[in-house]
Structure 1
Amino acid sequence: AETDFVAKRTPMQEREFERYEKMFHQVHQELKEGKRTIRKFEDVEQNLKENRFYLLDGLLLYLESVDIGRDNVQLGENTRRRLDGRTRTIFENGILSNMLYRSLGKSLYSKGKLISEAIDLYTEDLFVNAYCVNEKDVQTGWIYVVKSKSDNPNISTIKDLYKIGFSTTSVKERIKNAKNEATYLFADVKIVATYKIYNRNADKLENLLHRFFANACLNLDLFDDKGQRTTPREWFVVPFDVIDEAINLILNSNIVNYEYDVENQKIKLRS
């Protein structure tokens, strides 16, 4: 791996490196501001990805692309296929390398780190600490989770279908006209849970939850009695215990470290 790295590196032209230099400056700034973190590097195929930043021997590097393929590797009596191929890797000192994907991974294992993705300011601004509420804090609304009572088979047969919403008034007051509103699928609903929100806009927290579960959003067109089509975007096919977990991660300011795995219906650490 080391020989491959040394033999294939070349200096970039100043003009060519210019845009990468700006990217490296930005990453350094985001690290300083806490928007990115330096993490242990492990699991090559899970964590070594295009368009990501890493730290190797004290230098930032940017993995721009991989000409990826799979090699057969003999392990005793078994043969395993693994990813490999030439990379386009740019270092912050202006060096361009086409080292092999697995060679880069091996180097990062032994003397490198992973640089996390940046936390965007919008998400950062949504944090609420639910465990530091005192008499000076102001309740700004409720986040609520409801389940539909619809007898429409296109809705009633969907397991783990919930609406995540917000209200500045009591939730009971908000849902009293549910059967006449498209956002409630033109049916009454059952309150599953409510969460008091302090010192932040509940609608922004709702929006963050919608973004977090975006891949599990219900995709269904509804028509009112006038034939007008609507597509509600606040209903999600997610188990309630997972929704509850996500809300508590937001309230504890930890949501940025996690993502929703829609296939396995669980929350996992960001890769």
Structure 2
Amino acid sequence: MNDPDLDELASELSEFSAPEKKGGRSPREERVIAGFEEIQRFFAQYGRAPQHGEDRDIFERVYAVRLDRLRALPDCRSLLVPLDHQGLLAGGVIASEPSDAIDVYKLAAELAGVTGADDINVLRHVRTSAEKRAAEEIAAHTPCRDFEDFKPLFQEVETGLKEERWQTKPFGKDASIEVGDFFILAGQIAYVAEMGDTYKTPNAETNGRLRVIYSNGTESDLLLRSLQRALYKDSDGKAGRRLVKVDDGPLFSNEIDDDDQQSGTIYVVRSKSELPAVAAHREVLHKIGVTGRSNIAARFSGAKYDPTFLLADVEIVATYDLYNIDRVRLESLIHRVFSPARMDVEIKDRFGNPVVPREWFLVPLFIVDEAVKRIADGSITQYVYDPKAVQLVKMGATRET
């Protein structure tokens, strides 16, 4: 069955084969004049002839192709010259895009939103190429500026896969997507770092904007439903995979069993540095990290020689023992939660090289206590610190969606 839109567009751009003239104007001549009048109306509205280019409106591109054809055909020129009061036919063929550069069927496909309309100017849901590219680029990968915070997570997963502590499962068997989930998509490990406010689509499905970090150091800002569709059918034609930790239990356990193994300690320290930026915020400026050393004090014995400790001694203000937990994963998670409050300061090491410490955060100690409690109950993956509100808030509450 022929597509009426395609037939109409093909007719508009046809070779204008000349039928036998039986008196008066032929149907072909009427079409040529009508088509030329549309171009004239475009000129009257915009003060110029239609131009080629993917950034142009689809109709302008159609008119540009049509005008090229009318200029190139002698019989059309002779028919239209008496009507050409704007001098449109005087120019040569528009050179910015050859007339055969736009395929009739491609243009017809772009006009597929036109239904039940006789006039080609009546559009429903048709976007310019620039608009379509902009929509496609919403989910384009961009460099992840804080990838160092997430890098240990990917290293843990990659090592875990080799050591069979992690495994892959078909995505279709569990199509849920939550913050903290890992997937394999288009050959990259993808980590769902954040989720904005969710809403219901017209067909009652849950949707929301995600921040997805990839193992190649990029990220994308895409919708939950878009990620689900991509995982159902990956770019190589195979279904995406979900990555899960074997016998993955709670991130942090309140109860200590006889066979539990201590994994390390979360530490919170304050700097004794006299740098103005440090002294002015000493009570709320904390370095938060995770160490596997049993002797915590030994961890900081050389602080005054270490630029990551601001080349100054520190005061230990809080410690939290860990049992049966992945220290690297936990530290990365803590730094992600408090990243909005990371102190921006640069110091020189003993060789004069600039160093930007990344583990110092302007956050009150009671907020750190709350974060540890949320680590214990497993809810911390849903939260991020809001410096303005001075509280932990649900993911998306501080992000524009």
Match of residue 191 from structure 1: 316
Counterpart of 2:199, as a letter, is: Y
* 1:116-168 Cα shifts (integer Å, max 9, x gaps): xxxx979xx69423312211110111110000011222211124100001211
Equivalenced residue count is 182
Q: 1:151, 1:62 → 2: CA distance?
A: 49
Return 125-134 or 203-212, whichever deviates more.
125-134
Match of residue 255 from structure 1: 380
Match of residue 165 from structure 1: 289
Q: 2:379, 2:352 → 1: CA distance?
A: 43
Q: Which of 1 and 2 has higher RCO (CA within 8 Å, sep 6+)?
A: 1
- TM-score when scaled to structure 1? 0.57
Return 132-141 or 232-241, whichever deviates more.
132-141
Identical pairs, percent: 31
* 1:267 shift after superposition: 1.0
Contact (CA 8 Å) 1:209, 1:247: kept in 2 or not?
no
Gaps of 5+ in 2: 1-123, 126-131, 137-170, 180-194, 210-224, 226-242
Secondary structure at 2:345 match in 1: coil
User: Which runs of structure 1 show a deviation greater than 4 angstroms over 4 or more consecutive aligned residues?
Assistant: 50-53, 61-64
Higher helix share: 2
The match for 2:178 among 17, 35, 50 is 35
Of structures 1 and 2, the larger Rg is shown by: 2
Counterpart of 1:200, as a letter, is: I
Contact (CA 8 Å) 2:307, 2:357: kept in 1 or not?
yes
Counterpart of 1:165, as a letter, is: G
Match of residue 213 from structure 1: 338
* 1:268 shift after superposition: 2.1
Match of residue 179 from structure 1: 304
Contact (CA 8 Å) 1:128, 1:198: kept in 2 or not?
no
Contact (CA 8 Å) 1:126, 1:205: kept in 2 or not?
no
Q: 1:28, 1:253 → 2: CA distance?
A: 24
Contact (CA 8 Å) 2:253, 2:324: kept in 1 or not?
no
Gaps of 5+ in 1: 1-9, 20-25, 37-49, 65-89, 91-119
Residue 358 of structure 2 corresponds to residue 233 of structure 1: yes
Q: 2:278, 2:380 → 1: CA distance?
A: 29
Secondary structure at 2:318 match in 1: strand
* 1:197 shift after superposition: 0.8
* 1:260 shift after superposition: 1.5
Match of residue 136 from structure 1: 259
Match of residue 112 from structure 1: none
Q: 1:61, 1:241 → 2: CA distance?
A: 34
- TM-score when scaled to structure 2? 0.40
Matches within 5 A, 1:139-150: 139-150=262-273
Matches within 5 A, 1:1-271: 29-31=174-176, 35=178, 54-55=199-200, 59-60=204-205, 127-159=250-282, 160-169=284-293, 170-270=295-395, 271=397
Cα distance change on mapping 1:63 and 1:249 into 2, 3 Å = closer
* 1:199 shift after superposition: 1.0
